[in-house]
Structure 1
Amino acid sequence: MPGDLTLPLPSGPARYRVPDPPAWSAATPTPAPRSRTAFAAAHVVADPGHEHRPGAPAHVDWEATLAFRHHLWSLGLGVADAMDTAQRGAGLDWAGARELIARSGAEAAAVGGRLACGAGTDHLPQGRHGLGAIRAAYEEQVAVVEEAGAQVVLMASRALAGAANGPEEYAEVYGGILAQTRDPVILHWLGTPFDPALAGYWGSPDLDEATDHVVRLIHDHAPAIDGIKVSLLDAGREVALRGRLPDGVRLYTGDDFHYPELILGDDDGFSHALLGVFDPLARHAAVALHALDEGRTDAYRSVLEPTVPLARHLFAAPTYHYKTGVVFLAYLAGHQSHFTLLGGAEEHRSVAHLAELFRLAAEAGALPDPELATERMRAFLAERGYPC
């Protein structure tokens, strides 16, 4: 059992000892859950042998990055790759994303793992673009994802948000792409907490009107759509949208604040999952979803509900900096040997924020090796001038 340490928490310094992991954490549920489709949006591991600063090319440690994806597949989860958790558009450029998609596709095929990958328009140069250029950019990336054998996630496009003049132009671009995709895709509604540049997506800054527009788009192209990932951090709005989807179209929750209740659902339906928080909580997700398969809702709640304080801190404003915490937790858990992010993003959260993250992860049972986690937390604090 590791010794205690002093954490520089937001409320002030405090002594803390990591508790033993929960008894259920030794379980290894390898089959995919039956009652819900669940993707963990996976992070990438930066290569620490290169300089990482804003605007620099992405240098990825491919061995560690792919090993983490095998960890997720081994638990029966799908992998959602080359999306915002992988620092897409915030450190991971299109060249890196394209290689990640190809490599993950090959690894998924080798083990029969489920894989969905983001296709967007982020390789377009800065500036305003016409709808034709935006659609062509989407089509280029869709072809890369399909060639890798992965399911397409049509990511929300900053270029389209800046160019479209109303819902008709969103419908024009998306309709053209959906008419030619090989298999049903997942749409992607990323709210402004995750990316302020996406304000007004689907053609209106009013979320009720935007919901009407995307529902109409989905009904018009339902055979080409597997589901829609919704990351608005508004549980009531997600439930309302879920009830308006046509039969056979899934709602994939991307709500990292309310996921236990949304996945559990009610008599009127439930959400599937495509979540960044399932990266550090993969084992929790797998164990909870298998309990749900067996109708053990109390067990499901007992595993997932204690993780909510951790998730809410991880995704605290500014929400788009959550990747820093995800990678910090991967480092503490032993999935990588260093705390380095693409673009130097390890500096995007304060020491106090990360100290509280450590405490909440320990309380949630998200540190599988308490001794290793404590040792690494001590080293991290010492490097930043906090004796513990």
Structure 2
Amino acid sequence: MMKMYDIIIVGGGAAGFFAAIDIAEQNPSLKVAVLERGSEGLTKVKVSGGGRCNVTHAEFIPSELVQNYPRGEKELLGPFHQFMTGDTIEWFEKRGVELKIEDDGRMFPVSNSSQTIIDCFLNESKKHGVEILYNHAVKTFQNENGLWKIETSEADFLTEKLVIATGSNSKIWSLLENLGHTISPPVPSLFTFNIKDVRINDIPGVVASNVEIHIVDTDFYSEGPLLITHWGMSAPAILKLSAFAALELAERNYKFRIEINFIRKSVNDCLDCLKDFKNELAKKSVFKSAQFDLPKRLWQQLVLASEIDIETRWAELNKKQLELLANQLTHAIFNVIGKSTFKEEFVTAGGIDLKEINFKTFESKLFKNLYFAGEVLNIDAVTGGFNFQNAWTSAFIVAKSISQ
């Protein structure tokens, strides 16, 4: 027997729950259901931020916020003027969840537990009569006589308005493509770089706090902290680069070269500093006297890579060694041989072509009463709470559009 709802939301994730709660709260008379393919929803929320849930980021200017979206920067500017970070904070506080700002701008629940966010969504859904239907994997959906017919593994449904909030789901993308929507092929975003290099093989855990990184032969560039790991390199400087260069790096099959400036000085300025050190630290060991606030173990590896012996004193450095060290500090080249997923927070670039979406309502331009929220669209962000902010904003605007 066909079940009828006023609004059906496909996808029991962050955007799906947020939209369902907002719709039901504004329209108590509407019958709202969320279809979740698994036995529990909000699984991505649970693991995000290392289990703490990085809800959003403390950036309160829309034009600045959008710069964290390699795909979606232009399209999200208008939506962020409707609902952004401050609104997210207020939304959760009204529902009993207080957020805190950490030194790097990331925002988490004060409880430091993603379960707080999950409990909020589940409690609010129950409070406003949202039906959560688990183990309902969607098989097909199509528009018939102005209504959306959805077939799942458990039952068939009819609804006037359909919201797709499934995130990066290849099955749903395929169904949307069959309807006529254009799908940008998904490729990984937010990943770490696999590197085997004698300079870093023995120093995992070392952090260079402020570096510049370029992908050789491209215009892709990032800056910030760099973490040396057992498999290569990670931390914000790498993750940001991986997000903005996601399509290019996929085409290269994740084999490319990066150039790192560990001290953010020109090679000539670096040489001048090294010559000063040669005079000031004449009798000291180059190997043992780290400069430019670099971690000692990293400095030592760069010194060895510059053909400088462990026993060499500053006064003994020749012109060639000074130039080699300056190049290691400002133009170090590393070969990347692959990628690794960033923790459990797998993010993809790809999804519904943004030209096919009305960003005033997040409704499909191709089909009336078909809405989208979250990463099902070809929108993704760097790490730090930005992907969730896109989920909250798009879900809010979908709910507002439907409620009007």
Q: Same fold (TM over 0.5)?
A: no
Q: Which has the larger radius of gyration?
A: 2
Give the TM-score normalised by the residue count of structure 1.
0.25
Q: Which has the higher helix share?
A: 1
Give the TM-score normalised by the residue count of structure 2.
0.24
Q: Which has the higher strand share?
A: 2
